[in-house]
Structure 1
């Protein structure tokens, strides 16, 4: 079974689509190469409470484990 971080990576369009990622209190913030590869529904299915997109910046609201999830994604990169 895929981890929350792996599911979020998939929802962001894969590791090749992620330029940068960081945790911020309750959100995982990511900069992506191609916005059209981001699947909002997959991110919500991965456990996101919400998804906010501004250009190539994506904020995934995951709750208090955002820093851990972001660190797990960074480890995969």
Structure 2
């Protein structure tokens, strides 16, 4: 499983993700249900940190944020 797939799974799966936007070194995501977000799994997937504020989850991934966000958007389109 690649990094984008692991992040999607840790965010609760494609059906839980409303939006993903890259922002410098992080992925800004909005999820339907923040309680299913698996922070340890996000860190195992390579995230340096996770910030949760309600249904907004920021995943700190470093300078690969644009590439990872693009990969995640491709995965979400496949669903």
Number of matched residues? 76
Gaps of 5+ in 2: none
Partner of 2:8: 9
Partner of 2:68: 69
For residues 4-59 of structure 1, what are the alpha-carbon distances to aligned partners after superposition, in whole Å with 9 as ceiling and x for unaligned? Answer: 00000011000000000011110011100001110000000000000000000000
Distance 1:36 1:44 in 2: 16
Distance 1:51 1:42 in 2: 11
Distance 2:47 2:4 in 1: 11
Partner of 1:52: 51
Distance 1:48 1:56 in 2: 18
SS in 1 for 2:46: coil
TM-score by length of 1: 0.97
Gaps of 5+ in 1: none
Distance 2:7 2:68 in 1: 9
Moved over 2 A (4+): none
TM-score by length of 2: 0.94
